[in-house]
Amino acid sequence: MASASIQERFNKTEQVMRYRVAYRREGSRKVETTPWLAHLEDALLVQETIKKRGVDVALRLLDLQTNTRGVPRLTEWLPSHLERRATKTTPGTLAEYKRMAARTFLIRLGEIPMDQITDDDVIGWIAWQMKQTTERWQKKAITAAKNGTERPKEEFYSPKSIKNAHGLLSSMLSTAQAAGHINRNVAKGVDLPKVEVQEEKDIFTRDEWLNFFAAMQDHYKPFIAFILLTGARMGEATAVRVRDFNLETESVSIRQAWKKAEVGVELGSPKSSRSRRTILLGSAIHDFAPLLEGKAADNLVFTAIRGGQIHAQRFRERQWQAAVVKSKISKGLTPHSLRHTFASWALMEGVPAQVVQMRLGHESLATTSKVYAHLLLSEQAQAVESIGWRMPATDAPQIES
């Protein structure tokens, strides 16, 4: 590995301190140095880059620093880009964009002035990103090491995750182009890893559901039943309040959802305009009536055992996994599987796709059809009947032309 250290020199004539980086290439004993630099932060950046990415990358970065024409680096442009998106994007989503950029393309491209980023740089980042383990896996590995348990199987960034990060990079370069900092968006048109065909979602069978429901802690049984009956997202179900239940119309309104914030989560609007919806529960709504008694209209209906919000990750790790183990289910079922189970059971029973779409809160029917196309058997049957054609018998008389 290359090594690097910072040297200082006081310029008596100019009465200022100068800095340069002394370095040795990997496998070499020869000490080389950079030119003297005016700012310590520039020297520190070169030193860190040598240690992390090698001498050649650091020297290219130094050359770009000394020759650039005041064009902001990608890291410097990110706040300006997000500011332009602020009127159409929630603070939580903006914070997630920051986190996404920090763990993906900024690592490789962040310190390069935007007019010096090339197509090859973007392609190189994508190739590098595909080989990186995810932050979630890294946390699991750290936890396993602390607990002395088996190290989990490595998880790498998926093509979809890379596509999302590339989309943010391309959007940043587009706004930079519009602002006159660059002539073209070099991320546009770059080949991306192929997103694999989406596999069918794991769902409960009727027997598995009964066993799982019996295994769940009594306090959380109404909560998981609600998700199965409505198809609500977990963030929506945990945000339902007493005022959202209407026992007279036997319906519940989905008005809010827990969403990522800059720190933790916050209550906000559901995922899309179609996600604000009213769902009919029928007579089953009266099973939830005891949860409404004695509560104020603004109180949460479904809470943790000690009261307060049900935290999705904590619920999954504790109550959900315990019930999975107890019911001896080997599938990779998650709380989100209840939503898929609702949709699958409904479609298999012949409920029109448009009704399922409305209850799920999908923005378009295309989303519902894409995820559950393999279950739209009644629609396929109607298509077959509408054609009404059968293969003629082989001994049928031929029509002469």
Question: pLDDT tens, 177-193?
Answer: 999 988 999 999 999 98
Read off the DSSP letter of residue 183.
S
The neighbouring-strand residues paired with 245 are 252
The neighbouring-strand residues paired with 253 are 278
- Range with lowest mean pLDDT among 55-64, 312-321, 378-387: 378-387
Consecutive H or E run containing 263: none
Look over the chain and give the mean of its residue pLDDT values, rounded to a whole number. Answer: 84
Consecutive H or E run containing 127: helix 119-129
The pLDDT of 324-332, averaged and rounded, is 90
8 Å CB contact between 114 and 176: yes
Residue 16 has pLDDT above 50, yes or no: yes
Sequence-separated (6 or more) residues with CB below 8 Å from residue 245? 252, 285, 288, 292, 301
Residue 401 has pLDDT above 50, yes or no: no
DSSP string, 329-371: --S---THHHHHHHHHHHHHTT--HHHHHHHHT-SSHHHHHHH
Residue 233 has pLDDT above 50, yes or no: yes
| pLDDT of amino acid 226 | 94
8 Å CB contact between 178 and 193: no
pLDDT band at 357 (very low <50, low <70, confident <90, very high): confident
CA nearest 44: which of 68, 69, 27, 61?
61
| pLDDT of amino acid 223 | 95
Three-class DSSP category at 383? helix
DSSP string, 294-333: T--TTSBSS--TTSSPPPHHHHIIIIIHHHHHHTT--S--
The neighbouring-strand residues paired with 187 are none
CATH homologous superfamily for 206-384? Intergrase catalytic core (1.10.443.10)
Domain with CATH 1.10.443.10 in the chain: 206-384
The pLDDT of 104-132, averaged and rounded, is 90
Residue 327 has pLDDT above 60, yes or no: yes
8 Å CB contact between 192 and 159: yes
Query: How many contiguous H segments (helices) and E segments (strands) does the chain have?
Result: 18, 8
Question: pLDDT tens, 136-153?
Answer: 889 888 988 888 888 888
Q: How far apart are CA 321 and CA 352, in angstroms?
A: 33
Tokens read off for 326: 């107890």
Question: pLDDT tens, 235-294?
Answer: 999 999 999 999 999 999 998 887 766 666 776 666 666 778 899 989 999 999 999 999
pTM: 0.60
Q: How far apart are CA 302 and CA 217, in angstroms?
A: 13
- Comparing 347 with 84, which gets the higher pLDDT? 84
pLDDT band at 378 (very low <50, low <70, confident <90, very high): low
Question: pLDDT tens, 157-168?
Answer: 999 999 999 999
Q: How far apart are CA 138 and CA 152, in angstroms?
A: 9
What is the identity of the amino acid at 167?
A: G
- Comparing 93 with 133, which gets the higher pLDDT? 133
What is the identity of the amino acid at 113?
A: P
Q: How far apart are CA 24 and CA 336, in angstroms?
A: 52
